[in-house]
Amino acid sequence: MNVERPSWYNVEGPMETEKEAVQAMCETLEMVGQSGGPSEKDLATWLNLSGLQKDRTQLLLTQRGQLVKLTSLQKQNSVPMEDLVDIHWKLGVVAGSSEEGEAGRTFVQVNFICQAPGGSKRSAKLVEMSLEKFYDFLHQLEKCKASLEHNHLL
């Protein structure tokens, strides 16, 4: 049987270090968790050829859907690519509008100043929200601050 193996697949012998073995296992799990990854048959073949017991291979294959969901969630919840440098906000009131009920509505414009880690260029991201959402946002910021202070990260 001629199965194309992933680039990290090592059949030469045992891993030289524990770190390499862990890295290989992480890459295997990442491959299992890819939504457009290999077919179930190819995956079963790779896992069996790598020496994984058949019952463990079956367990991985049955849990593959959940692993795909977790992998996509991990990518969504990963560390932001930019650091938050500053926040500015402005309160506003709609003075007049052609839409019914818009006049007199209060809103907040929040300007997030961000900077890429290690970079010097800053970018601004403008968000407009209701006063109620703004108060909720401030409450969440206070909770984050308290958590960071509690963990001695601030």
On whether both 123 and 68 belong to a single domain, the answer is no
Domain count, the chain: 2
On whether both 32 and 51 belong to a single domain, the answer is yes
58-98, pLDDT tens digit by residue?
887 888 777 777 777 766 665 567 888 999 999 999 888 78
pLDDT of residue 18: 66
For residue 41, the enclosing domain spans: 18-76
Mean pLDDT of the chain: 78
Q: What is the DSSP string of the chain?
A: ---PPPTT---SSS-SSHHHHHHHHHHHHHHHT-TT---HHHHHHHHHHTT--HHHHHHHHHTHHHHHHHHHHHHHTSPPSSEEEEEEEEEEE----SSTTTTT-EEEEEEEEEE-TT---EEEEEEEEEHHHHHHHHHHHHHHHHHHHHTT--
On whether both 48 and 91 belong to a single domain, the answer is no
Last residue of a domain, one of 76, 91, 109: 76
On whether both 87 and 68 belong to a single domain, the answer is no
Domain presence at residue 68? yes
On whether both 121 and 145 belong to a single domain, the answer is yes
On whether both 127 and 112 belong to a single domain, the answer is yes
What predicted TM-score, i.e. pTM, was given to this entire model? 0.45
On whether both 144 and 88 belong to a single domain, the answer is yes
